[in-house]
Structure 1
Amino acid sequence: MQLPEPPRLFLVDGYALIYRAFYALMARPLTTSKGENTSAVWGISNFLQRLVTTQKPEYLGWVHDSGLSFRHERYPAYKATREKLADDLQADFDRGMLRICQLLDAYRIPILALEGYEADDVIGTLARRGTESGVKVVVVSGDKDFQQLVRPGVWILNPGRGGSAAVEEQWVGVENASERLGVPPDRVTDYLALVGDSSDNVPGVRGIGDKTARELVNSYGGLEDILARAGEITKKRPREALQEHAANARLSKELVTIREDLDIALDLDALKLREPDRDQLRDLFVELEFHSLAKEAAPARRAPEPGLERRYATVETLAQMSEVVAKARKAGTVALDTETVVAAGDPPKIDPLRSRLIGISLAIAPGEAYYFPLRHRPHAAEQTDFLMDVSGDRSATDAPEDRGTVRGGDETTGATTRPKKRIAKRVESIASRMLSGGGATPVNNLPPLDSAEMAPLRELLEDPSITKSAQNAKFDLLALRKAGVTLRGLDFDTMLASYVLDPGRRSHGLDVLALEFLQHTMTSYEDLCGKGRDALRFDECPVDAARDYSCEDADITLRLRSLFEPQLEKFALKDLLRDVEMPLVAVLGDMEWTGIAIDDDWFKSLKVRFERERKVVEQRIYEAAGTEFNIASNPQLREILFVKLELPVLKKTPTGPSTDASVLQELAEQGHTLPVLLMEYRELAKLENTYLDTLPELVNPETGRLHTSFNQTVAATGRLSSSDPNLQNIPIRRELGREIRRGFVPEKGWTLVAADYSQIELRLLAHLSNDPAFVDAFHAGGDIHRQTASLIFDVPVADVTSEMRARAKTINFATIYGQGPQALSRQLHIEHLEAKEFIAKYFERFQGIRAYLDSMVEFAREHGYVQTIFGRRRYIPELRDRNFNIRAFGERTAANSPIQGSAADLIKLAMIHIHSVLGERGLRTRMLLQVHDELVFEVPEEEIEIAQALVTYEMEHAAELSVPLVVDIGVGKNWMETKE
């Protein structure tokens, strides 16, 4: 289809897009840390950015309805069937509309509306005026009514939607205008007059559907012709319907016809697309916490921003290095940043253990920073004939020490060659864009960091009396360790400080923090190195550009520290950062450095077994379904479950009945066989894809071990998470998950020791609530769930049955996570009323627990946050939300977070103490993993007894509670054996 050529006028059906954006995230709305619903403005922000970037319209207008229109006067029931939003949702929508108006103002896009008319009529009139003025018109909407406007010079653009039910954008022009409705544009109103429109309550002709309407229009022409010749129609039903409802048909045509004759002029100059007010746009995105959009919206920079005075210098000689080191020692504190690159063939993730240190920056005072280049390559113009693209968007020169011989266009490695002229031009472009002083300086690397000549800098970094700040300090610590330097004196991490101050913040990235707290837009990595096939590696970039990029990181880190320290003091969070999060950086760094071994042969044999089991389950699925089909295809699965087998539809999505895990679980509980098999199949496939296929590929070839990354700033509760790979989600309650754990093994001659807090959250609940019965139950020892069952069911402990214990265990944990009778009834397979009575009896026995949970919710309502035993805060903006479901989630979060957060703090303290004692005693035992409430160690045979005693003691004495802390500890030749 021929698309419109400039000049083009884009007219956006604003309300339709806003409603779609609002409802798209209705189930899980986006909210700011203050609780503001931002679903609609997020959707529109992305839409506008995409429209302006990809379509580059010359003229653009945003069209809104103005309220009731002439159609309501003509037909009072017009749109009367539309369901009104609940008051809380209406308030969210109205707030979103205000934000969208602010967004349009920042984009300098005019909002068009005319009293008494709908947006459709304004668009129709302006489309007519546009074509008369010689511009091409594009109506941006998914509404079928606009098909009537299509003619030479007028197109429709349905912008589509993203997400799981993604729909691509679609252009409609004269060539394909009949495809959607089956009638030409000039007959759309006649077709709509017959079928009506339920969304607008347009009556149409009862008894005439889509197919019949198309046949009538294509056979007889316009509505009046159809009505005049109704007696000729052979089929009785449509003939009688037309004769009986002719008045409704004429009314409907009047209602669906878009006016094109309104008394409005087309002012193209006012609609001309202008450069947005980027400062206003950035400030709005920062306020809405759209950090990635804020960064993209920021004014483009070619030179340092005047708002932040900066004096950045490259250290090129040993004399200069000594001078800077002396300045740093005099200052007593520095902020640092390391720059690294990965070798070709390594995974594209940023991994300090597989990286080479290219340079270091030190900031000594705000605006004063120095860059130490260590391994920059010669500029592209001086390099050999070809460069090689490696995995991802990163590129590198051909260097024998890195990758051996490179063949142009090698199909086995995926490498492609890039002529040096093109790269030289890219380097020149970067230099001119990044630098204000002209060309780039020649490369003049300092000696390797572990050389004798670099001792002054190395000693500075290793001197604990010189305090250091960093952003994501664990990365710098490991990068320096890889280069032979042990970083000491690390006492502040801006990423961790941001997390401690507000764990619910969407991002703790340096660029986000700089934008929010310093109103400064940082140079992005793509600004420096580019993207795509012409992108450079960091060590290929001009040194002066690299200097400004790296020094900026260190400089901003130092400035943020001065802002964060008073806030930490004000909110009594300084101790948490100093005593828990910062010491943990070194602990986690050691754990990541050590890694854990896996048995490759075990994983290979397990994969064969999984594939065999999956095929067996697959065959059973086909037998239960009565036919073979693509199990991974949701449309085919829906057809089998809800059409062929006629199972009940429990939940719907925009594309049809849902087949998600919750639906399959409920169908399985109803006694249906196929959903049980589907869940088993999905679990096998997930474990195979996530672990059996992936883990062996992630083994570091240098160490022969798996090195996960531990994340301190992901979970709002304070819990650690792991990634690349995620080792915290391996299921242990299922046999298949346990088999995967058997593949984690110790070094030869060593063994694994695993220590797990026993019922830590319940013990913390007892301590926090100080409920006498619950506290006494823990002091009595034995099985807490059996003790609980004894109290709930009024029977001696010895008479508690396994079913009683199981129910008590379920409600113990349901209490922690704030589950109500509906969830409990589903878990225990009992009636809702019985579950409700069970909960009431539980709280009757443990009244202190009920009082404590309620007090946490009230505290959060009054103060906006809850906190752990150790002072960690979690803000609960959901409690202020107008939406009942979101408020209920906030109440559960307020009750649960002090328990979960205190458990997180407790195990972190235990890790710090154990790490310290192991070092002090000179033991070789290594801490490898932290998974929920469990710590895994690798222990030489001769240290097994001492390690078990040490770990148990430190974990059980990490804090003093009103109930005893108990640790279960096990030894084995693989991870699973430690649990057996």
Structure 2
Amino acid sequence: MVLLVDGSSYLYRAFHAMPDLRAVPGDPSSPATGAIRGMINMLQKLRRDVRADYVACIFDAPGPTFRDALYPDYKATRSPMPPDLRAQIEPIHEVVRLLGWKVLNVPGVEADDVIGTLACMATARGCQTVISSGDKDLSQLVNPQVTVIDTMNDRTRDVAGVEAEFGVPPQLMVDYQTLVGDAVDNVPGVEKVGPKTAVKLLKEYGSLDALVARAHEVKGAVGENLRKALDWLPKGRALLTIRTDCELAEHIPGLPALDDIAVREGQDTEALKAFYEKYGFKGLARQLDTHAVPPELLEEHQSQRKLGPGPAAGGLFDEPDLSGRSQASTLHYDTVFTWAQFDEWLAKIQAAELVAVDTETSSLDEMQAEIVGLSFSVKPGEAAYIPLAHSYGDAPAQLPREEVLARLKPWLEDAARPKLGQHVKYDRHVFANHGIEVQGYAHDTMLESYVLEVHKPHGLASLAERHLGRTGIDYETVAGKGAHQIPFSQVPVDKAAEYSCEDSDQTLDVHLALWPKLQADPKLSFIYGLEMKSSETLYRIERNGVLIDAAVLARQSQALGQRIMQLEREAHDLAGQPFNLGSPKQIGEILFVKLGLPVVKKTASGVPSTDEEVLEKLAEDYPLPAKLLEHRGLSKLKGTYTDKLAQLALPRTGRVHTHYAQAVAVTGRLSSNDPNLQNIPVKTAEGRRVREAFIAPPGCRIASADYSQIELRIMAHLSEDAALIRAFREGEDVHRATAAEVFGVAPAEVTSEQRRYAKVINFGLIYGMSSFGLARNLGIDNAAAKNYIQRYFERYPGVKQYMDETRLAAKSRGYVETVFGRRLYLPEINSPNGPRRGGAERQAINAPMQGTAADLIKLAMVKVQDTLDAQGRRTKMIMQVHDELVFEVPEDEVEWVRVEVPRLMAGVAELRVPLLAEIGIGSNWEEAH
């Protein structure tokens, strides 16, 4: 097998996919390293996934090629390489060589041509070739011996794949590309001949040569444009054809035998370590300190571990130790089939200081998942799997599930026995489905990562690779993927055991690497403690769920359906013809061709856009776009909520049990799904009515408590602006106070319009709104908006100073912090890309406020739940939405909730301005507002 990597494609992908990493984190003057790290990651993964005897990574060499001589405008429209990427080219070449790859960059020859020539040579020698690239041009090289894989998009372009994707077989790809042209390389095709037309012509005529020979037969504009291009087409084809006959011998001696790109044994560990340390890749360097086993050999070793009633066979290599601890040199993974083994492991579990627990289940739906098996790890390298419900044909006899769980229940429910997991909220639900309320979860590796490195992935596989240098078995390896995926109960026990033991073992290992870092920083340790308490409270909220009135939703769906049909009729009347209101293409034809409305902006392909922003702009002057917007909004509301909410209710409870994703938003905010409670469009009357279906059961009421103007209060605290602080301390209407300051009038003289302007300014500046954005939002000219912002900053100089200082601090440190110390990383704050950098600067202003608000609602959530528990209240917390907590309250506790919940929420922190929580009570969620 020959593996050829399109290095030029890889390095651009690595540069744009990775954040703006630096050799010294947060120091913009140190070398950029994002593309280097991205290349290392991609190449190491590729070597694990594709086993090859010969490997080469091919880059474009600087300087002109034969194509430039053939056509001086070749690639003339390409933007120059970003300076930060150019500076990483030589280090990338260096590390690719150190990783054991042959690096090729042939003067005067493009990378594609080198790849084409090597692939042709390999085919002649009887070898299969895999080309790794995202460049579709390489599809013309595909044949039964040559395959192109696009790892970034999980796409394989073999003979069938090319035809399925482009509509023509690989041998016609050059003809296809010649007709279509290549805008990226500035190679014209036939005017107005796109992919569909090119495919149609080639299917009809068989080839480009046959088409050219019969060009006089092609009718219409296509024929006319084809005939105009006849003189150009030979040159276009020459430019687009990948050469397979380049003279490479002087650059690659010994190529006829492929010896020069044969896989090398081992790697230059010392040189690689020095490289990693130079560019700040400390984790990779520490991995090399432990052993220099190539990743693909380590994976092979791991895949050969034997599992059975006794310990797994010892390994050939130590696992990498990246946390300064002593780690076992072999892995001992047991599979528990007998009560004697169970008793032995139960004793180990009971004696251990900390135990990692992992569940294997029948479903990802945490409210309905049942346990298929359990694994435990008591120390690094030692774990056991207890299969309980594997049910395939020749599955081995397993211990009875209910009896095993009954024997484990006292330990699981003992708060004095510390436990550890990865995403423990899910496991809490799974155990609860079997009547076990787990106590004593002391740590969650997902949340440890979320607090320490919020901007990075928090899945166990990513954590193990990043912090331990360990690559494990993924779920799809044991269970398959897509339509062919099998339930975990059908996974063979030996595979399930290895997979699950590895999960619990890695969870323990990752914790041992991350926990000392959290302990070393009191602020992060506090945030982590808050996240752990929040996880337990969210589990309670999810478990409680909220009662849904299906009849109310059915009536709303019917009313919405009638209004949607009416809007369709009205839109057809305004257009003068029927059309599909869900088709952007038909909408574009009606708006811009038939009605001649102005084009606001175009899509990337040059077609007039019909997105929401465009329709909102057009709706200011034209009736049809307004109808389209209303139709879209109501259709989404019906499809997402009124039609589906009742379907999402759990039959045994009649309630919807949303899932709160705790480790997703970089600001610390929660998100919810199935259903998404955060995005109900409450700015419209129809959207607010959806909340009427969230009801209290008989004998109870719904209470909704939320913080008032929380982010403005946080801004006052952070900026220490005297005027803002005074307004909040004196209980003024802060928008009226702002209007009085900006418009230079007494507060009593502020008009409703001036207050509206001030409200937009107050919230707009928090979110980094520019004068242009403010002008568009208020419907005023840019100069007036700029003047308002200037006057705002004159009246609130502390806000301006805070914003300026925060930007500078973010650029220096690479992150900002909430009031409580949560770190919010900004990988693009020093990016050479202007829009990315600007976005990060706006985020630097807003993130501390959003993040502090998230911290406060979590503190409130935990405090209220603790109080409910301590006082034995029957009130249930059933939802958390943005800055709002929603409760199901027995009638006899309504007055207590009305008084105590706002008091508890306001008292969770002392800021420079008072916190204020307000509460409403009703028979449903909407009525409680």
Give 2:434's aligned amino acid.
A
Residue from 471, 476, 486 that aligns with 1:521: 471
- TM-score (structure 1 length as normaliser): 0.75
Partner of 1:269: 258
Taking structure 1 as reference, are residues 632 and 143 closer, same or farther at Cα in structure 2, changes over 3 Å only? same
In structure 2, C-alpha distance between the alignment counterparts of 1:334 and 1:92, rounded to whole Å: 45
Shift of 1:643: 2.8
C-alpha contact (below 8 Å) 2:47/2:296 kept by paired residues? no
Secondary structure, aligned partner of 1:656: coil
Report what 1:596 is aligned to. 546
What TM-score results when the alignment is normalised by the length of structure 2? 0.79
Q: Which amino acid aligns with 1:492?
A: H
946, 949, 969: which one aligns with 2:899: 949
| 1:793-942 pair list within 5 angstroms | 793-942=743-892
Indicate the residue corresponding to 2:566 in structure 1.
616
SS at match of 2:439: coil
2:435 corresponds in structure 1 to 484
Contact residue 314 and residue 370 of structure 1 kept, 8 A: yes
Matched, 1:66 2:65: no
Task: Name the CA distance, whole Å, in 2 between partners of 1:270 and 1:585.
Answer: 56
Cα deviation, 1:80-130, whole Å, max 9, x if unaligned, reads 742433x7x34336647965996798695x555532344566577678878
Q: Distance in 1 between matches of 2:493 and 2:243?
A: 63
| Counterpart residue type for residue 358 of structure 2 | D
Q: Which residue number corresponds to residue 291 of structure 2?
A: none
Higher mean alpha-carbon deviation, 155-164 vs 846-855, is at 155-164
CA contact (8 A) 1:295 1:512 kept: no
Note the residue ranges of structure 1 that are not aligned, 5 or more in a row.
1-6, 182-187, 227-234, 289-293, 343-348, 381-419, 428-439
Alignment of 1:957-972 (within 5 A): 957-972=907-922
Q: Is the 8 A contact 1:642 1:649 kept in 2?
A: no
Count of matched residue positions in the alignment of Structure 1 and Structure 2: 858
1:458 aligns with 2:409: yes
Displacement of 1:803 in angstroms is 0.9
Q: 1:492 to 1:41 in 2, by over 3 A?
A: closer
Q: For structure 1, which segment, 849-858 or 901-910, has the greater mean C-alpha deviation from structure 2 after superposition?
A: 849-858
In the alignment, which residue of structure 2 is the partner of 1:448?
Answer: 403
Q: CA separation of 1:486/1:151 partners in 2, compared to 1, >3 Å: closer, same or farther?
A: closer
**Match in the other structure for 2:365:** 350
Q: Which amino acid aligns with 1:899?
A: M
Conserved 8 A contact 2:142-2:148 = no
Contact 1:755 1:935 in 2 (8 A): yes
Alpha-carbon shift at residue 79 of structure 1 (Å): 3.4
Find the aligned partners of 1:130 and 1:322 in 2 and give their Cα distance: 58
**Over alpha carbons, which structure has the higher Rg?**
1
- Equivalent position of 1:498 in the other structure: 449
Matched with 2:617 is 666
Partner Cα distance (1:878, 1:974) in 2: 44
Q: Which residue of 1 aligns with 2:381?
A: 367
Cα distance change of structure 1 residues 753 and 19 upon mapping to structure 2, 3 Å threshold: same
Q: Which runs of 5+ in 2 are unaligned?
A: 27-31, 156-160, 217-222, 250-254, 286-294, 306-311, 320-327
2:711 aligned residue (754, 757, 761): 761
Deviations 1:282-332 (A, max 9, x none): x999989xxxxx999955613165425333445556666555445444434
SS of the residue aligned with 1:369?
strand
1:376 to 389, 401, 404: 389
Name the residue aligned to 1:301: 303
Q: Distance in 1 between matches of 2:471 and 2:10?
A: 29
Between the aligned partners of 1:137 and 1:334, the Cα distance in structure 2 is 47
How many Å apart are 1:535 and its aligned residue? 5.2
Offset of residue 657 of structure 1: 3.2
Within 2, Cα distance between the matches of 1:534 and 1:250?
A: 47
Instruction: Check 1:70–1:469 CA distance in 2 against 1; reply closer, same or farther (3 A cut).
Output: closer
- Between stretches 61-70 and 632-641, larger displacement belongs to 61-70
CA distance in 2, matches of 1:753, 1:735: 20
2:360 aligned to 339, 343, 360, which one? Answer: 339
Distance 2:588 2:40 in 1: 32
Deviations, residues 388-430 of structure 1 (Å, cap 9, x unaligned): xxxxxxxxxxxxxxxxxxxxxxxxxxxxxxxx4xxx4xx6xxx
Q: CA deviation at 1:894?
A: 1.5
Cα distance in structure 2, aligned partners of 1:545 and 1:155: 33
Structure 1 815/942 Cα, relative in aligned 2: closer, same or farther at 3 Å?
Answer: same
Distance in 2 separating the partners of 1:748 and 1:759:
33
Correspondence for 1:91 among 77, 84, 98: 84
1:727 corresponds in structure 2 to 677
Residue 846 of structure 1 aligns with an amino acid whose one-letter code is Y
C-alpha contact (below 8 Å) 1:279/1:298 kept by paired residues: no
Matched, 1:651 2:602: yes
* Displacement of 1:494: 1.2
Separation in structure 1 between the aligned mates of residue 410 and residue 150 of structure 2, nearest angstrom: 59
* Segment of structure 1 superposing worse, 262-271 or 599-608: 262-271
Are 2:689 and 1:696 equivalent residues in the alignment? no
Residues 29 and 37, structure 1, Cα contact 8 Å, conserved in 2: no
Question: Is contact 2:740–2:746 with CA below 8 Å preserved after alignment?
Answer: yes
Match of 2:158 in 1: none
**Match of 1:114, as an amino acid?**
V
For residues 799-831 of structure 1, the C-alpha deviation after alignment (integer angstroms, 9 at most, x for no partner) is 101110011000101111111111111111111
Q: CA deviation at 1:555?
A: 2.7
Report the alpha carbon displacement of residue 365 of structure 1 after superposing the two structures with TM: 2.6
SS of the equivalent of 1:937 reads: strand
Q: Secondary structure at the match of 1:878?
A: coil
* RMSD of Structure 2 on Structure 1 (CA): 5.0
CA distance in 2, matches of 1:127, 1:314: 46
Candidates 401, 415, 424, aligned match of 1:473: 424
Decide whether aligned partners of structure 1 residues 978 and 362 sit closer, same or farther in structure 2, where only a CA change above 3 A counts.
same
The one-letter code sitting in structure 2 at the alignment partner of 1:891 is: E
Answer yes or no: is the 8 Å Cα contact 1:731–1:737 preserved in 2: yes
> In the TM superposition, what is the alpha-carbon distance from 1:697 to its structure 2 partner?
1.5
Shift of 1:960: 1.1
Which residue of 1 is the match for residue 106 of structure 2?
114
Q: Secondary structure, in 3 states, of the residue corresponding to 1:487?
A: coil
Residue type of the partner of 2:871? R
Counterpart CA distance in 1 for 2:467 and 2:141 is 49
Q: CA deviation at 1:762?
A: 0.4
AA aligned to 1:180 is Y
Q: Give, in whole Å, the separation in 2 of the partners of 1:154 and 1:371.
A: 43
Distance 1:509 1:239 in 2: 57
- SS, match of residue 455 in structure 2: coil
- Per-residue CA deviation, residues 527-581 of structure 1 (Å, 9 max, x unaligned), is 4444567755434545555444333333322222222221002233454245411
The secondary structure found in structure 2 opposite 1:754 is strand
Alpha-carbon offset, residue 748 of structure 1: 1.7
Q: Distance in 1 between matches of 2:579 and 2:99?
A: 51
Residues of 2 paired with 1:32 and 1:522: CA distance? 26
Deviation at 1:964, TM superposition (A): 1.4
Do the aligned residues in 1 keep the contact of 2:664 with 2:670 (CA within 8 Å)? yes
Whole-angstrom distance in 1 between the partners of 2:612 and 2:413: 51
Whole-Å separation in 2 of the counterparts to 1:494 and 1:57: 35
Tell me how far apart the structure 2 counterparts of residues 178 and 771 of structure 1 sit (CA, whole Å). Answer: 65
Does the CA-based 8 Å contact 2:703-2:921 persist in structure 1? yes
Per-residue deviation at 1:751? 0.9
Contact 1:137/1:153 (8 A) holds in 2? no
Give the match's secondary structure for 1:354. Answer: coil
